[in-house]
Structure formats: structure tokens, C-alpha cells
Amino acid sequence: MRAWAAFVLMACPALAHVMSMSSGDLTIAGSLAHYQLRLPLYETPHTPNPGQALLSHIAFSSGGRPARLLNSSCREDAGSYLCTADYQFPAPVDSLDVDCTFYAVTVPNHVHLLRVENGGKQDRALFDISFPRATLRFRPPTPLETFLTQAGGGALRACGGLAQLVFLASLVLAARSRRELLLLASMFLLGQLATALIVPLTRWEPPARFVEAAAGLTIAYLAVEILVLPKAGMRWLIVAVLGAFHGLYFELFLRTTGYRATYVLSGAVLAEAVAIGLCAALFSYVGKHLAFLRPVPLCASVLLVTGVAWFFLRLAS
């Protein structure tokens, strides 16, 4: 029991969401602006006044002078939490400075997509724990800026949280040789790419909660294979399915942001390949120098507890 309690405590930090996203639209007309925020109900901060908590974590300013909040309202709307607010700037807006720290009141890997229209000109920005500030200048980005922004977004989404790293660590644990690791990594990435590219061609728009619950169950199953069936074959097929579920996360990200799939997925694949290599090196070192800890069964047990807890948490939310 003590061992399992330790596993649970070790797994708790990994219970971060695979995806946690919200979107906002700000329309500016001269010195006035109207903001609309939408996020899934299960992402709503557990506070007496979640709307106030959210709006206090986003601030707009222009020319070094902050916008003044005139009024706001929040309500539930078709499975989402919808907030609207009106702001007044001291002068007509030329460039817009935004500070967004929604990750502080939701989950650490929360991503907010902000779309802004100002006098017919449009711009957008992504905010997360790594990039809580941005300046929008309402000019078309260069091709290089577009690639770096979107590929960087894909890389951050691939490895920007504990949940994503759990996926990649499970691949390394499942591999019994370097050759098999190469096969599993390839199948994971192919499954991810196939889903992210094929699902948009269909009418299916999987809810984020379903994707997370399924992903948690897949991690738990892979952990069971590592623990109970260490010599099982066809593990590459299980990994391909795991990659397919992970690809649904990128499909949601692409659908929400409108980014180019080639840019986002290029950044994601590169970041995941690097992360898998680092995990493999780490586990190899631990296996050679700390073999008495039995790192593979220990880590697989953590993955199992994490996956099961994650699955039921998302079902209950």
C-alpha cells in the first residue's frame, strides 16, 4: 500500500490536461473595444466568481496606458463559459499590448488564442505560461515570422506540459531495444500526423474531454503491457493508436487557431523527437547506474496510476 501511495503522489503532478484552451475575440473601434472570452465549462476556475477571476488575468493597454474596464458579464453557453467585456482606451489604438495569465487560474499548460480586429485590420496572438505577453501591431507577418510562430506553437504544444511528456516517456519505457524504440517513435508520430491531417477532412469534431479521457486510458493500457506482458508483440500497433489520440489534440489546436498544419506539425515532430531522445538517454543512465531501483516497473506503475486517474477525472468533469 505504501508503494502504491507513493506512485499516486508521483503521478499527481502529471494529471495536467493534455489540452487546455480558450479563445477570445477583441473588436476595437477607435478608443472602445469589445472582448468575448469562451472556454469549456470544465476549465472554469473553481472560485465564487469565475468570470471576475478570468477577466482580472487579462489586461489591454496601448501606448503604455491601460484600458479601463467599463462593464462585464459571464454566463454558461452550450457547454462553454462565455464572458463579454467592454473597455475604453485613453486614445485610439495604434498598437495593442496584452498581458494574459489565464494559466494562473486554470491549469499551468493553458493556452489562450486571442483574435483582434482594429479598423478592418486583424492580428492574433497565443498566450501561455511561456509567453504571457504580446504586442499586436496590425500588420501582415512575414513568411518567416509566420513559420517561426506556428512551428514554435506546435513545439510548445508537443512538449509544453507534464501530460505531453508522460506520453513520450511511455514510448521509451515500452521499447525493449533501440531498434524497437525507433519503430515505436515512428509509429507514434505517424499516428499523430495521420489523425491531425485526416480528421479535418471529416465532419467529426471530437470534444476535448473525450480526447483526454481516451488518452488517459491508452496510457494506462500501455503501462499494463509493460508491467504484465513484457514480451508482448505488436506493441507498435498500440503505440500507433496512442499517437492517433494525441493527434486529436493537434487537430483541436489547428481547428481553434487556424494555423497551417505543415508548420505546426513540423515543430511538434521535431520537438517530440528531441524529447524522446532525451528520455531514452535519461532512462539508459538510470538503468545502468540505479538498476536496483527497477526504474522500468517503477515508472510504468506511475504511468498506470496516472492514466487511470486521468481517465476517471475527465469522465467526472
pLDDT at 315: 65
Does 256 score more than 50 pLDDT?
A: yes
Does 279 score more than 60 pLDDT?
A: yes
Give the chain's radius of gyration (CA, Å): 21
Does 280 score more than 90 pLDDT?
A: no
- What does the pLDDT look like over 106-157, one tens digit per residue? 887 788 999 999 988 889 898 988 889 999 988 878 899 889 889 988 888 8
pLDDT at 243: 85
Which residues, listed in sequence order, are joined to residue 125 by a DSSP beta bridge?
114
Q: Which residues contact 258 (CB under 8 A, 6 or more apart)?
A: none
Query: How far apart are alpha carbons 86 and 33 in whole angstroms?
Result: 6
- Please, which pLDDT band fits residue 293 given cuts at 50, 70 and 90? low
pTM above 0.75, yes or no: no
- Please, which pLDDT band fits residue 5 given cuts at 50, 70 and 90? very low
Kindly state the average pLDDT of the residues 241-270: 87
Q: Helix, strand, coil: what percent of the chain each, to 5?
A: 55, 20, 20
Query: How far apart are alpha carbons 160 and 107 in whole angstroms?
Result: 12
Nearest to 75 by CA among 84, 62, 66, 67: 84
Please name each of the domains of the chain with its CATH number.
21-140 (2.60.40), 157-316 (no CATH)
Answer for the pair 81, 50: CB distance below 8 angstroms, yes or no: yes
Query: How far apart are alpha carbons 110 and 17 in whole angstroms?
Result: 8
